[in-house]
Chain A
Amino acid sequence: MTYIKPEFRHPNLPVNEVGFTKKEYEGRISTLCAGCGHDSISAAIVQACYEMSIEPHRVAKLSGIGCSSKTPTYFLSNSHGFNSVHGRMPSVATGANLANRDLIYFGVSGDGDTASIGMGQFVHAIRRNLNMVYIVMNNGCYGLTKGQDSATADKGSMSKKGAPNPFAPIDLVSLALELEASFVAQSFSGDKGQLIPLIKAAMHHPGFSFINVMSPCVTFNNNKGSTKSYDFVRDHASSTSVLDFIPKKEEIKVDYEEGIQVKVAMHDGSYLSLHKLARDWNPLDWVSANEALIKARDRGEILTGLLYINPKSNPLHDTLKSSDKPLNTLKEKDLCPGSKKLEEINSSLR
């Protein structure tokens, strides 16, 4: 790893542990519509990375196509970014991750990008437990192509033009859970307090960390009758827990009442501390997470928070037994077997 201190800095701005100001985690000026939920998620990513003292160049940002997929331009401008093709970010992220296991991979997608054209790649990235953060900025519509219903739009949800959606939705969180994604969370772009610790925890989790974020499209799907509008989500969100991400060695400061606190040890010595709000739900227990989701759906609630985590997650590199040294750092001497071996192969073919 090459670590070089940044050269220019405003003298008065506070810096984090690795010497960066928050500004150095920001991106270009957003060109999304004012009030778009996606911008709040970008801001949460900036905040989480700054607070976690991640070196920005150790992050790779990947996305598909859509308004949501444009956002990697609007955060972490010192990170490499890749705006790939519609629905196919997971495969690009898979290749990138295989090439260098040492970076943090941020995948950003939309509900169209993931639940329709990219469904195949999404479920297979889960299946492989690719070590990445996968955020869906879910607005129930195709923002960039001007507001068509997406596959996550709820049945009966009203479009801006006043037509009810006739089809049942694909619930990405239930799907991810069903496929035993090793980290499943749901949040709301308007709830920074919940979203930021979720992003931090996701970055620490060694495996596929899925966060479905309700992110209203103010231009095409924020009307009355829409179940993805700010008002509707605010009214129907119910939180499973209050989450704190506690870095390595830091004392756990919050002390909740006995029995409702869940402490999850991360692989690197950090902790997740969850203050449970939902009854009968344990984020370490897959069955209870499923039940909680089903019950919430039945009640018409949007369950938010960290829904499920498997601390024994086995990421793809472990499954493939690939070298600890990133594959992209290997040189001729590691990779090329040389002429003597080739001569042996020739001999075996005669």
Chain B
Amino acid sequence: MTKINDFVVRFANVNGTGSASANLLFAKSIFRMGIPVSPKNIFPSNIQGLPTWYEVRASEKGYLGRREGIDMVICVNPESMAKDIESVRPGGYFLYDSTKPLHQRYYREDINYTGIPLMALSAQYFHDPRQRQLFKNIIYVGALSKLLNIDFEVIEQLLSEQFRNKEKLISLNVQALKLGVEYVEENYSYPLDIRLEKRDLVKDKILIDGNAACGLGAVYGGATVVAWYPITPSTSVAEAFEKYAKKLRVDPETGKNKFAIVQAEDELAAIGMVIGANWNGARSFTATSGPGVSLMNEFLGLAYFAEIPTVLIDVQRGGPSTGMPTRTQQSDILAAAYASHGDTKHVLLIPSTPKECFEMTAQSFDLADRLQTPIILMNDLDLGMNDWMSDPFEWDDERKYDRGKVLSAEDLDKIEKFGRYLDVDDDGITYRTYPGTHPTKGSFFTRGTSKNEYAGYTEDGAAYERNMDRLIKKWETSKNYVPGPELYQEEKKSDEAILFFGTSKYAAEEALDLLAEEGIEIDAIRVKAFPFNQEVADFINSHEKVFVIEQNRDAQMRTLLMLELDAAPSKLISILNYNGMPITADLIKNQVCANLTVKNS
């Protein structure tokens, strides 16, 4: 049966061999043909020589999550070949470099083999060894264009955009493509039963990774001081900020930067710098991953108690440094929500798309200034480091930054006595001043817990308690500011429901369709922030059973729902995925079905 615009193709490469740009060219060609596409990098924590995979899903229905069942593997890595052959679904395709014959042990009865002498073809045409290696990748893209029916003009167009004004490079690439095209034309029948057809389904969507969107969001959100320490998968956030800031924030007259970026000595220093800058009235952020969040714990506590706006982007990954640092997870939820010593809780924003990465990053600066507390953006590797088809970014030019409650010299002259921690407006949020504002008024001493309403030092238990109670009042206030959930139905239509957040959105939405096909119509909610607001509470209260979908072992979101909403543990059923690969719709559907069937039988 021919499948149009519905396949998963996986490239098995060796990292450091230049396959990334060829693979991107492949994915982008599908995107340009108007077909929804979602590429994913599956890569090791290594610079050169280990296997890496790139998985591309094309989906007429617009599903962008990962799905099981690989229709075709393009294998140019002998190391991983046995595993790669195994991963092809029955009836699928295995494309390999047939320069050397394939060993007998690699034959499977139930799949199709497409040998293309990539290295031999490349060696015939290119003489420089580096070029041979690079163009080998382009040759398989050429072959795929025939096999899967990619519009050749689209590829040529992309190449000419990529190598603008470098005619020589363009023609070398086109030549390599043609080697692949011709080989398929002469040796195979094409296109295959999995193939592409042009559509107009992409509309005005863009293709970008979440980390770049965060970096850009920080530029638009007015961040000026960035301090960071390299760690996968968050590094590209700071790099994107730098790239966009250099383009958009350099004074054309003086050549000076309207931003400052410091690669700190460690994450302790990175967050310290962010706190210092925000204390002094600049918008500042850092980006890190789990191990960095652990190191930042002490400072996060200080920022919470001293009430200093702080923006932290956590691109979650699988645990400690050796192990799964290049695999995705949502396993820092509790560590972030309750980071640090003493009674602390932090505002979390949870984006699902690049557009939300952009918007929530920009918004996090407003929230941090408004609420004078750390705001942690819970990104993850899957969203952060993979390209996603996303609605385009938008910005309202009328939008003003919300700098929160900050007193100017004029304001200070009007008030009798400034109390840094005095709850004037009865919302738990107090007024602050920037250093250097007024010669005799408004200065105060910033410290951790021991203080009264006027920022005076005290170890009086009653003053401590008053302050802690006000912080909880502020926490309540924050519920009015954080983004509410996305509800998938106007009114309740089932007693069971699914709840999910972040990148589980894609698989969960697809699972809703799969369930509907089985006759199961089920309500759904996507949580976008912590603290949970009333809508989340109401949703849980109004359903008898809520499947909580998350990508960690310990059901951290479920714990948070139990703790903060007093939700009954028995009604929160976990659906978990924590093998480092993004969650799939099938997994969700199967677990929901299994649970509901048990109930019905």
Contacts and interface: CB of A to CB of B under 8 A. Distances in A.
B436 A57 contact: yes
Given A56-B439, A99-B225, A103-B435, A84 B251 contact: no
Interface in B395-445: 395-397, 399-401, 408-409, 413, 433-440, 443-445
A3 B273 contact: no
Interface in A299-350: 317, 320-324, 327-328, 330-332, 334-339, 341-343, 345-346, 349-350
A92 B251 contact: no
B206 interface: yes
Nearest to A19: B439
Contact of A346 (B254, B392, B433, B447): B392
A7 interface: yes
B275 interface: yes
A95 B409 CA distance: 23
A73 interface: yes
A98 B302 contact: no
Interface residues of B, number: 75
A2 B204 CA distance: 48
A120 B440 contact: no
Contacts of B268: 88, 91, 120-121
Nearest to B444: A80
Given A4-B438, A80-B446, A124-B265, A332 B224 contact: no
B277 A60 contact: no
A120 B204 CA distance: 49
A83 B265 contact: no
A99 B396 contact: no
B545 interface: no
Contact of B397 (A85, A92, A338): A338
Given A95-B225, A337-B219, A342-B220, A78 B440 contact: yes
A177 B78 CA distance: 55
B222 A335 contact: yes
Given A321-B257, A323-B256, A95 B277 contact: yes
A73 B265 CA distance: 29
Given A85-B299, A88-B268, A339-B395, A95 B273 contact: yes
A94 interface: yes
Contact of B206 (A322, A328, A349): A349
Contact of A4 (B204, B249, B413): B413
Interface string A30-59: 000000000000000000000000011110
A83 B445 CA distance: 7
A2 B397 CA distance: 30
Interface in A117-133: 120-121, 124, 128
B254 A1 contact: no
Contacts of B201: none
Contacts of B205: 350
Interface in B257-275: 257-262, 264-266, 268-275
B435 A322 contact: no
B523 to A, nearest CB: 33
A99 B443 contact: no
Given A1-B436, A80-B443, A99 B269 contact: no
Interface residues of A, number: 68
B298 A322 contact: no
B291 interface: no
Contacts of B439: 2-6, 55-57, 78
Contacts of B208: 349
Choose among B244, B255, B279, B408 the residue with the greatest number of A CB atoms under 10 Å from its CB.
Answer: B279
A77 B401 CA distance: 31
B569 interface: no
Contact of A330 (B258, B266, B271, B280): B258
Contacts of B18: none
Given A80-B444, A99-B225, A337-B219, A2 B258 contact: no
A350 to B, nearest CB: 6
B420 to A, nearest CB: 10
Nearest to B212: A349
A327 B224 contact: yes
A3 B413 CA distance: 12
Contacts of B282: 95, 98-100, 327-328
A341 B276 CA distance: 31
Contacts of A338: 395, 397
Interface in A139-183: none
Contact of A73 (B262, B400, B433, B445): B445
Contacts of B225: 95, 98-99, 327
B265 A121 contact: yes
A85 B265 contact: no
Contacts of B244: 345
B349 to A, nearest CB: 20
A99 B220 contact: no
Interface in B31-78: 32
Contacts of B281: 99-100, 328
Nearest to A334: B258
A95 B284 contact: yes
A91 to B, nearest CB: 3
Given A82-B279, A83-B447, A328-B281, A335 B249 contact: yes
Contacts of A62: 276
B259 A322 contact: yes
B446 A83 contact: yes
Contacts of A72: 445
A208 to B, nearest CB: 14
B276 A93 contact: yes
B256 to A, nearest CB: 4
Interface in A230-244: none
A96 interface: yes
A346 B204 CA distance: 9
A79 interface: yes
A81 interface: yes
A99 B280 contact: yes
Given A99-B225, A336-B222, A323 B435 contact: no
Contacts of A73: 445, 457
B222 A84 contact: no
Contacts of B408: 2
27 contacts: A5-B439, A56-B439, A57-B436, A57-B439, A60-B435, A81-B444, A82-B279, A83-B445, A88-B272, A90-B272, A91-B272, A92-B272, A92-B275, A92-B279, A97-B276, A98-B260, A98-B262, A99-B278, A100-B434, A103-B280, A103-B435, A120-B268, A322-B260, A323-B257, A327-B259, A339-B396, A349-B206
Given A82-B447, A323-B256, 11 more contacts: A2-B409, A77-B443, A84-B276, A85-B299, A93-B276, A94-B227, A99-B282, A317-B260, A336-B222, A342-B395, A349-B208
Q: Which 7 residue pairs across A and B have the least CB separation, nearest first?
A: A95-B276, A91-B272, A99-B282, A95-B273, A80-B435, A95-B277, A328-B281
